[in-house]
Amino acid sequence: MKFTHLSGFTQKTNNHSCLSGFSLPCQHLMVHYYNNIKNFGSPNGLCSSITESKHITAVKHPWRRSNRYKALSQILKVNERLDKLTAARADFNTRGMLTNSTL
């Protein structure tokens, strides 16, 4: 689809790229995004399963641990503690502290 009626349109930056600044043709294409994703799948072969799995571990599981009152601070604290535990486990593995089981 060509936008011949927009051929004289120039941006303040004199840059016609969609990546920098405002572009009417690019804004118009957003109207078609929903139907194209619905008909043809995710754009550029992107997959949402990775993002979804990260969302589950970073948001859903900590949400369930919270008391749901001002949960954002609780979620952030849970994620911070899980990150520290993961870092400690990696450090212990490199030092050989977890090689033999004590159980």
pTM value is 0.51
- For residue 62, count other CB atoms closer than 10 A to its CB: 19
Residues of the chain with pLDDT under 50: 13
User: Considering all CA atoms of the chain, what is the largest pairwise distance in Å, rounded to the nearest integer?
Assistant: 75
Structural domain spans, the chain:
9-45, 49-95
Say how many C-beta atoms besides its own lie within 10 A of residue 53's C-beta. Answer: 10
Check residue 17 and give its pLDDT. 54
